[in-house]
Amino acid sequence: MGAAAAIYVIAASAHGGASWSVFAATDDQGALRGYGIRLATAIAGVVAGTLAWGRLELSRNEHRRQLAVEKRLSSAAAAAQRERDSDRQRDATADVERRAELDRDRHRSDFTAAVEQLGHEHRSVRLAGLLALEGLAQAEHADVQRLYDIVCAFARERLPVDVTTFENVIHLSHTQNFDGVVDVAGQGELLNGPEVLHLAVDYAEAVAIALRAPKGIKVNLQRTLVVDQTIRIDRRNGESLDLTDAIILNSRFDGDPRDSITFYTLRKAALYNCDWSLSSGGGITLKNCRVFGSKMAMRASLKSLRFFECRILHSQVATNDATVLSMRNCDLQKVRFGSFSDEASSNIRDCSFHRCAGSLPAGDVRNNEVRHCDLRPLTNTEENSAE
């Protein structure tokens, strides 16, 4: 724009000079006056245009300067906002960490107090400690396995009865009533069966809490007394619930064994008046167990039902659709079998049947001793004759 104005001024000057040289040769004053006016007008227009252009450039420069200032201010404001946001985030993170640390401190304090309560002389205080430990297991920072290990240790160490004595004195002919006398460990007090069931509320609660352990937690209830409980038999308990050498009274085995499970965790256990009511799923195996006065009635199909080196007395074994009934080296007295499907098969070897009745699936039956029984069918062995 400036270059164009300069060219215009030069052109106008040249034109004016040329015109002036033409008119200077004349004596016509009117023509000279008119030309002078036109030249002045042209020069004024050029000057006005130049001034207007200058003002426009100044305006544009001012606008650009304002934009630059606004941009710098905006950048500074954004940086300040980011800094404030960062400060708030740091404060929030620090607050969360402080709260978490306070929670951990509170959890440690509550944990210590609960563990101390377990050793209190009063049963109600011990019970409160057990319930507190179960509640602490729900905390975000809890060592859940450690909490349940403590509960299980409490149950194992505070048995209300001598397990061996308890089992020996129960009269098997009166299993349903738990008649018998039990010497309470460490107290020298004789109690009959029903009194044992209500002996120690804190002990019973410890066992119940252990059996309520969440998935993935190992539960060790070896050589304990389990009374009036529901024991979930599913993949979790099949892997993590250890009831070796336990005595289990008036309890219910329930669950859905989707995979074939071997309950070696029940080995050498004694089951009195227990109810097995399982959903469909895999196989059930009991090894070295003693089953007294119990009902093993499966709600639906199982792949297999196996007993190895078990003693089964005064019990009922029935399932609608088990594929295989397998028994090895078992002693069965007063056991009633029934409700096996037509497609089921049996594999029964080296077992002793005394006063048993009912229907067994046909199959491989060898080297068994059968006395005073009414069992059908006992197919391919002559040695299985009744006395």
Domain extent at residue 360: 221-384
In a domain, residue 195? The reply is no
Residue 282 — pLDDT band, cuts 50, 70, 90? low
In a domain, residue 199? The reply is no
CB 245 within 8 A of CB 266: no
In a domain, residue 24? The reply is yes
Average of per-residue pLDDT values in the chain:
74
Structure tokens at 107: 């959890």
In a domain, residue 145? The reply is no
Residue 259 — pLDDT band, cuts 50, 70, 90? very low
Residue 133 — pLDDT band, cuts 50, 70, 90? very high
Question: Does the pLDDT value for residue 345 go beyond 90?
Answer: no
Question: Same domain for 231 and 379?
Answer: yes
What span, in angstroms and rounded, lies between the C-alpha atoms of 127 and 73? 67
Pick the closest to residue 226 from 214, 213, 244, 239 (CA basis). 244
Q: How many domains does the chain have?
A: 2
In a domain, residue 327? The reply is yes
Helices H / strands E in the chain, number of each:
8, 26
Question: Does the pLDDT value for residue 32 go beyond 50?
Answer: yes
pLDDT of residue 206: 94
Question: Same domain for 78 and 226?
Answer: no
The pTM score is: 0.65
Classify 328 as helix, strand or coil: strand
* Range 251-268 average pLDDT: 63
For 239-252, give the DSSP string.
Answer: HHEE-TT-EEES-E
- pLDDT over 70 percentage in the chain: 68
Last-in-domain residue among 31, 58, 82: 82
Last-in-domain residue among 55, 82, 109: 82
In a domain, residue 58? The reply is yes
What span, in angstroms and rounded, lies between the C-alpha atoms of 147 and 109? 14
Pick the closest to residue 291 from 321, 269, 312, 265 (CA basis). 312
Last-in-domain residue among 82, 98, 128: 82
* Range 352-356 average pLDDT: 90
pLDDT of residue 223: 87
pLDDT digits (tens, 9 = 90+) for 299-341: 555 566 778 888 888 788 876 655 678 888 998 888 888 767 7
| 83 residue type, one letter | E
pLDDT of residue 180: 45
